[in-house]
Amino acid sequence: MSDKKLWSGRFNEPTDQFVEAFTASVTFDQRLAPYDIQGSIAHARMLAQQKILTQAECDDIVAGLECIATQIEQGTFVWSVAQEDVHMNIEAALTAAIGETGKKLHTGRSRNDQVATDIRLWLRDEIQAVCTALQQVQSAILDIAAREADTILPGFTHLQTAQPITFGHHMLAWFEMLQRDTSRMNDCAARMNQMPLGAAALAGTTYPIDRDLTASLLNFSAPCRNSLDAVSDRDFAIEFSAAASLILLHLSRMSEELIIWSSAQFGFITLSDGFCTGSSIMPQKKNPDVPELIRGKSGRVFGHLMALLTLMKAQPLAYNKDNQEDKEPLFDTVDTLRGSLKVFAAMLPTLTCNQTAMRNAALQGFATATDLADYLVRKGLAFRDAHDVVGRVVAHCVQAGCDLADLSLEYLQGYNHLIAADVYDYLTLEGSVAARNHVGGTAPDQVRQAIAAARQSLKIRTHSD
């Protein structure tokens, strides 16, 4: 392939060598090649349909592009920095391969609508893959939830013991986060599924093109309605990054809990050796590197979101070269996100619970104090008064170093005469969780119902894919 620039006609001097490398994007945008070729084939077919190209020219172009696609796939295609980007590399290679006809492919098209189309095609596939990966994590979460539907541990607010909860219920909270993430990804995919091709450089084209045809060949729901917007819009990239950031944020919260729970002080869970590493100096260490790294990786994805926002801020219409800077943040976001989801889905099935440690922790910190207050309310006391009575009982227990359930009935009745022997049923951990038996509550029965509904929603999603 020649190094002659496809736009060199109006230039008298060669590009400065450093500028050539500085302005080139081929080192990273070659990732878009399969989508660039897919877009070009659809464009050529539309041109032939509209008699802008002959059928024979179209056939030559399609065959040439398919051959280039194979070379790229097999790693034999030679990329040239002199040809600047993925689009011009492929176009130049096409002309080198099929001759003069190759030069006709760019009729009625610009790299501006071409690149805007390529990224959307690429991202559309990536979003699909992200949604599948989310589903795998969710399914692993549900398996733990089902196994641990009756397992009791302390629930926290302010990281202080609050009320007993079931581990299954905790897992379902994770599930919900990812459920919203999936719907955000789907929203983003639906909104971005409009086709820029035909916008050409910015104003449209003078050829009698059929944009509906190209859009349908590429499975877009419609052509973008405004050519200036079509070539310059990167909202979809920002939206995707924001949705990706929320996924990483959720994974970082889950990771943080895994890290805390696997500490010696908590000892609630164990992760298998395959997902932990040791210390080069402290022989006893087993560090939860995978969740730590995911927690850390959230930072770079948030950074990419900020980079994209800043990139687009204050750009005048229409296309500006600034936009070339959208790719590396997007690519790294996708790689980081998919890698994190993949390792998370693989790690979760190795999680084992130490039910005794969870239970012992729930027995500390007066986790059933609210249940005692609720008990008094059911006996006729106003909640605020009940809160005060229980607060005083807890203060006594703190002093005496005992638990609520350790106090004798006579002693408890000294605080309030409404307390009867049945109070002990409400002070147990099992009684506490079983009592929260409503939609969204922590009772094992509710958890089992919620798991069934969640599994159903995953199944529906799989079938609708």
- Catalytic residue set: 158, 279
* DSSP H helical ranges for 313-417: 327-347, 355-363, 369-378, 383-400, 409-413
**Closest to ligand ARG by CB, 112 or 255:** 112
**115 binding ligand ARG? (CB under 6 A):** yes
Report residue 222: phi and psi, to 5°: -170, 165
What gap in Å lies between CA 324 and CA 343, rounded to an integer? 30
Closest CA to 367 of 167, 152, 173: 152
Report residue 353: phi and psi, to 5°: -100, 140
Residue 318 C-beta: closest distance to ligand ARG, Å:
10
Query: Cis omega (within 30 of 0) on the bond before 318?
Result: yes
Task: Decide if 195 contacts 208 (C-beta within 8 A).
Answer: no
**Closest to ligand ARG by CB, 196 or 291:** 196
Give the rounded distance of the alpha carbon of 239 from its chain centre. 12
Residue 435 C-beta: closest distance to ligand ARG, Å:
59
Residue 103 C-beta: closest distance to ligand ARG, Å:
18
**Closest to ligand ARG by CB, 331 or 424:** 331
**85 binding ligand ARG? (CB under 6 A):** yes
Of the candidate residues 43, 45, 109, 111, the single one contacting ligand ARG (CB under 6 A): 111
330: its two tokens: 């997007």
Listed in sequence order, the residues at least 6 apart from 384 whose beta carbon sits closer than 8 Å to its beta carbon are none
Residue 177 C-beta: closest distance to ligand ARG, Å:
34
Residue 241 C-beta: closest distance to ligand ARG, Å:
17
**32 binding ligand ARG? (CB under 6 A):** no
**117 binding ligand ARG? (CB under 6 A):** no
Buried/exposed code over 225-254 (b: 16+ C-beta within 10 A; e: otherwise): eebebbbbbbebbbbbbbbbbbbbebbbeb
**Closest to ligand ARG by CB, 319 or 366:** 319
- What is the per-residue binding string for ligand ARG in 301-320, x denoting contact by CB under 6 A? ------------------x-
- 283: how many CB neighbours lie within 10 A of its CB? 7
**336 binding ligand ARG? (CB under 6 A):** no
**124 binding ligand ARG? (CB under 6 A):** no
Give me the residues that bind ligand ARG (CB under 6 A), please.
25, 29, 85, 111-112, 115, 319, 321, 323-324
